[in-house]
Structure 1
């Protein structure tokens, strides 16, 4: 079974812009929201990296000097960031499950 490649940041951005253009909604406000979405994308990737490196919980030392297990805050933050990303898509009238058919782009972006 062939492994599917994850889309790059450039591919995601281009796809969102193409979807807006297909809807005739390529206006400054929505373009700004795409930049916000892509900033959240970067934050999401950083949070995912932290969870991958430290796990959902990690051991640290308490103020009293004893080892304790703490929940990784990045897990909760990741959920909040993904929720905000979905909200931005909703505000722009874009979805991830109804592609316009114009999402296929060149790898050179």
Structure 2
């Protein structure tokens, strides 16, 4: 199945490559090696693309969307993308935790030992 143009936009983005490279670099620095972990990073990146598409939808259509069921009923309902975004984001955080990936310290941050 071919990816949509919107999906390709994210798959081919510089940000996608930078995030994936950073995750793989962090695994390497942590000594976490193996195809299993690379596959988990690929899963994470798939969720990242999904999250971006959900954000696009929420920004385009809003948190409430108009519906018309054709039987004389119409109105507004919650945009399902909001709930899916929350679920996807939570799963991404769990995956990072399982991989043992933590935010990198910037050069300006001091370790506890350096503070003394």
Question: Does structure 1 residue 60 correspond to structure 2 residue 74?
Answer: no
Map 1:5-44 → 2, pairs under 5 A = 8-44=15-51
Larger % of helix: which?
Answer: 2
DSSP-derived class of the 1:64 partner: coil
Q: Give the TM-score, by structure 1 length.
A: 0.79
Structure with max Cα Rg: 2
* Residues in 2 aligned to 1:56 and 1:41: alpha-carbon distance in whole angstroms: 20
* Moved segments of 4+, more than 6 Å: none
Shift of 1:62: 3.1
Q: Give the TM-score, by structure 2 length.
A: 0.74
Q: CA RMSD in A?
A: 1.5
Of the three residues 76, 79, 98, the one matched with 1:69 is: 76
Q: Any unmatched runs of 5+ in structure 1? A: 1-6, 102-109
* Residues in 1 aligned to 2:46 and 2:21: alpha-carbon distance in whole angstroms: 14
DSSP-derived class of the 1:65 partner: coil
Q: Any unmatched runs of 5+ in structure 2? A: 1-13, 107-116
**Counterpart of 1:84?**
91
Instruction: Identify which of structures 1 and 2 has the higher relative contact order when contacts are C-alpha pairs closer than 8 Å and 6+ apart.
Output: 1
* Residues in 2 aligned to 1:51 and 1:39: alpha-carbon distance in whole angstroms: 19
